[in-house]
């Protein structure tokens, strides 16, 4: 079996707070729209939650999937299946040996809705009313398993769990499956359906969420001096990775090359980023170096930038530590300013954006920056989205997760 093969991206799929598909999401992103809205759910007032808004899906899953699919899958799996079907269709839904098609779909939180609904059912109605599919719905690998079922993928179906780096890590897992010869195509990404009162309450108690209740659309404001936390989002982002020779042989449309991945762990604190960015910068350096790139090749970064006071500065420091003055020439986008924070799907959705930025040579602007934080030493795109240069270009996607997980990957133009 061939190893060390080049890997390209041949399909994209997403369901997000900005749109029910990749084209709808990308259009809203370039238009600088926010997906955050005031929540109308009764539980916000019932539990006196201090945060009243989130970025819910633009197109609810029950408008896309069959009733029985909604019933038998947790929201986390529903969103993954929606995005995977779009990505697979976008790749041309080619015929291939099912044993050469893999899946890698991560999630940060997993089937929290199913878990707690079924716990309520057990307590209130007894064991016979617990749904027999409770366990296969709540398990974190349920999205991965359901996508493998939906597409008939038999090369292996994996689930990476690394909090808000899960989606990016899955893409790395898919890349490795192809590079090492385990599969010719892998459907990879991340999903999250965790806008549940317990997640809200937990993040709020950590002081991690923005409390800008009177203005949800401007609450996610990475790099602004008045940023006060992230905005909960939901959705999924999925890409189709493919061995380059396989894609060329079938004449597939190629968006970009998935060029390299870097991963590290901080071992510093369970939630706080290591302030000097030592671990994060190692992941970035590895993502660039393993792709055969140099920092001078990177023209764009889709930053993790969640809009927390500490996290945005730590990442800025890590980028500087990794690339020094070469970072001056890297145009930075913080797309969570529009999508909110999709947790385990964040790195995957932002991976889709990074791929589109390289493919279309357009990097999205960051919205809601009215007073740019002078502590951020980055060229952050504000106002209008920015044209990226012609010729060979590359971009970097950063994702970090509670637990000290750092995942960075690079994408090259083809």
Partner 1 sequence: MAQSEQEILAGLADIVNEETGLDTDSVQLDKAFTEDLDIDSLSMMTIVVNAEDKFGVKIPDDEVKNLVTVGDAVKFIGANQS
Let me know if 304 is a catalytic residue.
yes
> Least separation, in Å, of the C-beta of 77 and partner 1?
16
Q: Is 128 in the site for partner 1 (CB under 8 A)?
A: yes
> DSSP of 148-208, one letter per residue?
HHHHT--S-EE---BTBTHHHHHHHHHHHHHHTTS-SEEEEEEEE----HHHHHHHHHTT-
177-181 long-range contacts (CB < 8 A, ≥24 apart) are 177/102, 177/104, 178/5, 178/7, 178/102, 178/241, 178/242, 178/243, 179/3, 179/4, 179/5, 179/7, 180/3, 180/4, 181/1, 181/2, 181/3, 181/5
Q: Is 131 in the site for partner 1 (CB under 8 A)?
A: yes
Residue whose CB is less far from partner 1, 71 or 253:
71
The residue annotated as part of the active site, out of 164, 246, 385, 405, is 164
Let me know if 164 is a catalytic residue.
yes
> DSSP of 341-378, one letter per residue?
B-GGGHHHHHHHHHHHHHHHTEEPPBP--SSB-TT--S
CA neighbours closer than 13 Å in the CB half-sphere of residue 341 = 30
Which among 128-136, 345-353, 363-371, 395-403 is the span making contact with partner 1, rule CB under 8 A? 128-136
Q: Do 269 and 396 meet the contact criterion of CB atoms below 8 Å apart? A: no
Per DSSP, the three-state class of 135 is helix
The residue annotated as part of the active site, out of 158, 304, 385, 405, is 304
Q: How far is CA 279 from the centre of its chain?
A: 20
Q: Is 132 in the site for partner 1 (CB under 8 A)?
A: yes
- Applying CB under 8 A, among 2, 27, 97, 129 the residue interacting with partner 1 is 129
Cα–Cα nearest to 232, from 324, 346, 68 = 346
The residue annotated as part of the active site, out of 300, 341, 385, 405, is 341
Q: Per-residue x/- marks for partner 1, 60-79, CB under 8 A? A: ------xxxx-x--------
> Least separation, in Å, of the C-beta of 149 and partner 1?
13
CA 193 to CA 173: how far, in whole Å?
22
Q: Is 24 in the site for partner 1 (CB under 8 A)?
A: no
Q: Per-residue x/- marks for partner 1, 319-358, CB under 8 A? A: ----------------------------------------
- Applying CB under 8 A, among 59, 133, 198, 278 the residue interacting with partner 1 is 133
Let me know if 385 is a catalytic residue.
no
> Least separation, in Å, of the C-beta of 135 and partner 1?
10
> Least separation, in Å, of the C-beta of 67 and partner 1?
7
Q: Do 381 and 333 meet the contact criterion of CB atoms below 8 Å apart? A: yes
Which among 129-137, 250-258, 356-364, 394-402 is the span making contact with partner 1, rule CB under 8 A? 129-137
Interhelix angle 346-360/22-30, rounded to 10 degrees, is 70
Which among 111-119, 126-134, 183-191, 310-318 is the span making contact with partner 1, rule CB under 8 A? 126-134
Q: Is 124 in the site for partner 1 (CB under 8 A)?
A: no
Sign, CA dihedral 87-91-97-99, equals negative
> Least separation, in Å, of the C-beta of 289 and partner 1?
48
Residue labelled with tokens 């996508």: 147
Q: Is 46 in the site for partner 1 (CB under 8 A)?
A: no
> Least separation, in Å, of the C-beta of 103 and partner 1?
22
Q: Scan residues 166-225 and list those touching partner 1 (CB under 8 A).
A: none
Residue labelled with tokens 């030592």: 278
Q: Do 307 and 220 meet the contact criterion of CB atoms below 8 Å apart? A: yes
For residue 168, give Cα distances in angstroms to 137, 196, 238, 329, 369: 23, 23, 10, 24, 26
Q: Is 120 in the site for partner 1 (CB under 8 A)?
A: no
> Least separation, in Å, of the C-beta of 126 and partner 1?
10
> Least separation, in Å, of the C-beta of 129 and partner 1?
6
Q: Tell me the number of residues near partner 1 by CB under 8 A.
A: 10
Residue whose CB is less far from partner 1, 126 or 374:
126
Q: Is 372 in the site for partner 1 (CB under 8 A)?
A: no
CA neighbours closer than 13 Å in the CB half-sphere of residue 325 = 0
Residue whose CB is less far from partner 1, 70 or 201:
70
Residues forming the site for partner 1 (CB under 8 A): 66-69, 71, 128-129, 131-133
Hey, which residues are catalytic here? 164, 304, 341
């Amino acid at each position: 079996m061939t190893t060390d093969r080049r890997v390209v991206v041949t399909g994209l799929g997403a369901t997000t707070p900005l749109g029910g598909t990749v084209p709808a999401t990308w259009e809203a992103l370039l238009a600088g729209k926010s997906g955050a809205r005031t929540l109308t759910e009764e539980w916000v007032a019932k539990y006196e939650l201090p945060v009243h808004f989130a970025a819910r899906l633009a197109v609810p899953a029950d408008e896309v999937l069959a009733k029985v699919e909604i019933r038998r899958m947790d929201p986390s799996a529903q969103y993954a299946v929606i995005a995977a079907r779009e990505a697979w269709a976008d790749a041309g839904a080619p015929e291939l040996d099912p044993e050469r098609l893999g899946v890698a779909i991560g999630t940060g939180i997993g089937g929290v809705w199913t878990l707690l609904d079924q716990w309520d059912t057990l307590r209130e109605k007894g064991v016979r009313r617990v749904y027999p599919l409770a366990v296969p719905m709540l398990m974190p690998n349920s999205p991965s398993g359901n996508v493998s079922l939906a597409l008939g993928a038999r090369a292996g179906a994996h689930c990476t769990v690394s909090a808000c780096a899960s989606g990016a890590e899955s893409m790395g897992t898919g890349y490795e499956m192809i590079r090492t010869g385990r599969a010719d195509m892998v459907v990879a990404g991340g999903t999250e359906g965790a806008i549940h009162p317990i997640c809200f309450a937990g993040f709020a108690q950590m002081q991690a969420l923005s409390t800008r209740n009177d203005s949800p659309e401007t609450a996610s404001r990475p790099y602004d001096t008045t940023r006060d936390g992230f905005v909960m989002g939901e959705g999924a982002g999925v890409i189709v990775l493919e061995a380059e020779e396989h894609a060329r042989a079938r004449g597939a449309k190629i968006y970009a090359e998935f060029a390299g991945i870097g991963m590290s762990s901080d071992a510093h604190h369970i939630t706080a980023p290591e302030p000097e960015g030592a671990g994060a910068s190692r992941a970035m350096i590895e993502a660039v170096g393993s792709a055969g790139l140099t920092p001078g090749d990177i023209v764009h970064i889709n930053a993790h930038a969640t809009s927390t006071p500490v996290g945005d500065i730590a990442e800025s420091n890590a980028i500087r530590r990794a690339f020094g003055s070469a970072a001056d020439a890297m145009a930075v986008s913080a797309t969570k300013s529009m999508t909110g924070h999709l947790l385990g799907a964040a790195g995957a959705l932002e991976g889709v954006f990074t791929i589109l930025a390289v493919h279309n040579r357009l990097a999205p602007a960051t919205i809601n920056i009215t007073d740019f934080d002078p502590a951020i030493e980055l060229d952050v795109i504000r106002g209008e989205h920015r044209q990226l240069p012609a010729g060979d270009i590359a971009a970097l996607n950063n994702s970090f997760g509670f637990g000290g997980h750092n995942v960075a990957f690079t994408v090259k133009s083809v």
